[in-house]
A and B are shown apart, each in its own frame.
Chain A
């Protein structure tokens, strides 16, 4: 039996026609070659200002475009084949985080994942203790509080990791501990990634338009996104400036 019936949506088989159709297909990394398979990748989630939560339907082509942008960011971070990245996110945030994991896989790097919660901080600590991580992406204030509550020294836990990318609240604490983390910020449906090089937060301007009104960042979707946003309030304070010919977001009170 050349196919165990475990992926590709097909039973165990050695039918050459089926095997040919499945050639090059890897479980869930692209739309499966099954009649009736949805064009949608998932219904994701978006958190906007004032606790408003909306759905984010997202298609396979949109995931591919988002993966391409994440890949460009991984280039900037210097992640290459053989590296090991750890991503911290909640399942409801998968539409935004999966492109990062997919881009990690595409370049021959490995990944692990955990949650940005206090309870799950022990998982972060285990990964950081047992592996040399190139990148820890998505560190939250709850992660740091969880580590400290368990008696860990943040400075020691993260010392072995080359690159850190943290959410507001964690970013400041890591800086105070002597690290130079990248700062990542949720802006409704997207993540902005700031290398903290003075050039502001990078975002995918081909997919999203950001503007500021009364000091708050508003987000709109570009044509071609299934989930549409029109000047949706993000609840994030900041401004948009042009740097090196592209829009950048400057957030917070730093």
Chain B
């Protein structure tokens, strides 16, 4: 026997757009599920996670003190990436003290990109029902159906894409997340007519633009078969947006949900949905820890409600977001967020706060550096002078380009940077395949 999904596996998209009734549940129902799952999760984790147990003991809080979501928000201590690293170093525990199962129950050790230090390890299970990074809801909403082909640019940091597309009955066309594999992408796209692409990134968009310039390939024709092209890895810059618009790419973005899952745009493209039956989402003032109400900006804090392998409890993600719990025009009732940047990427230049996004458009405004491949040099949080490493295309007059970039950045933020120029083909080697680390220590 097989399970018949609501929308038969045809190419007709758009009907029955909700995969799961929970996507449009009333807030009262979402909050009921949250409370039920939160209390069960706390009881489970406080018994098993050494890091959480210690953090709660230090704060003088026990699982019995928590009777509601409000209690939790008022009393539970935060943890963050530094807590996990400190636990890992002090206790020789690669999982940072959050593993809640016997290590033999971990089937796979996935890792983060690790662009700024040792990668974070994720204990993963092939079989556990609450272990998730992607849910099928976003795939369904964006038109993926069993039997579809997917052009999948990926890496193997969390194994073979963690098999989510296989789980949906779709067929990945496996392509290295590397600009050198773009000709194969074009060839296989013309052959198999995939409906989905996962995922585009800044380096791949730069590579496509370069391929277009060198070969004259018609990228509008290449992308014409796709229902959805997923972009991720980092925020999309202005230049990339203009390129995908010109190529008529049906692009949707996804991002991380505080190392506890992912958030995706729906077809309304009005924010990234965070599934609140799977996580408890909070947004706080990064300085004071005070809650930020719907409509405001702050740091995203995540509690995983269903993962029982290595759940993060009240984890300060370091991700700055704007958020709302107003319903989306798509009909979904879960919270939405708009990523702004990373708290760890902020640099204070002579007392002025600068995030990579603040200089991004200025870099892209200079024709030779329009690819937007750059890094902010951040040896420590506070510096006297802003230093940028910027990728360039072709063989330009480097002295002039450096002045042009400095002028553009100064116009944008009022600070004149020192500019180091590096060929684009070299700067893309400074990070993982799918993104440029936007800050570098040196």
Contact = CB atoms under 8 A, between A and B. Distances in A.
B126 interface: yes
A120 B170 CA distance: 29
B171 A34 contact: no
B356 interface: no
A97 B176 CA distance: 14
Interface residues of B, number: 76
A127 B22 CA distance: 39
A91 B160 contact: yes
Contacts of A93: 174
B146 A92 contact: no
Given A11-B20, A91-B175, A110-B106, A35 B3 contact: yes
Interface string B408-442: 00000000000000000000010111000000000
A1 B20 CA distance: 12
A233 interface: no
A87 to B, nearest CB: 8
Interface in A87-112: 87, 89-95, 97-98, 101, 105, 108, 110-112
B104 A108 contact: yes
Contact of A11 (B21, B145, B162, B431): B21
B130 A6 contact: yes
Contact of A38 (B103, B111, B147, B306): B147
B170 A38 contact: yes
B72 interface: no
Interface stretch (B53-61, B149-157, B219-227, B388-396): B149-157
Interface stretch (A23-31, A69-77, A192-200): A23-31
Interface stretch (B76-84, B132-140, B252-260, B340-348): B132-140
A126 B2 CA distance: 42
Contact of A123 (B111, B169, B176): B111
A43 to B, nearest CB: 4
B5 interface: yes
B1 interface: yes
Interface band, chain A:
35 or more
B119 A126 contact: yes
A33 B3 CA distance: 6
B3 to A, nearest CB: 5
A27 B169 CA distance: 11
Contacts of B121: 130
B110 to A, nearest CB: 8
A7 B110 CA distance: 18
B107 interface: yes
A43 B171 contact: yes
B2 A21 contact: yes
A176 interface: no
Contacts of A3: 129
A91 B150 CA distance: 14
Contacts of B132: 4, 6-7
B8 A35 contact: yes
Given A29-B126, A36-B9, A45-B184, A21 B3 contact: yes
Interface string A76-92: 00000110100101111
Contacts of A11: 19-22
B166 interface: yes
Contacts of A31: 169
Nearest to B109: A112
B190 to A, nearest CB: 12
Contacts of B355: none
Contacts of B172: 42-43
A92 B169 contact: no
Contacts of A113: 108, 156-159
Contacts of B33: 1
A143 to B, nearest CB: 14
Contacts of A26: 126-127
B282 to A, nearest CB: 21
A181 B119 CA distance: 26
B46 interface: no
Interface in B89-122: 94, 103-104, 106-111, 114, 118-119, 121
A127 B121 CA distance: 10
A215 interface: no
18 contacts: A6-B130, A6-B136, A7-B167, A9-B168, A11-B20, A31-B169, A36-B8, A36-B146, A37-B2, A38-B170, A55-B188, A55-B191, A87-B156, A91-B176, A91-B177, A105-B126, A110-B104, A123-B114
Given A35-B146, A37-B168, 13 more contacts: A5-B19, A6-B130, A6-B131, A12-B22, A27-B162, A27-B164, A28-B164, A28-B167, A36-B5, A43-B188, A113-B108, A113-B156, A122-B114
Q: What are the nearest 3 A-B pairs in CB distance?
A: A28-B163, A36-B9, A37-B169
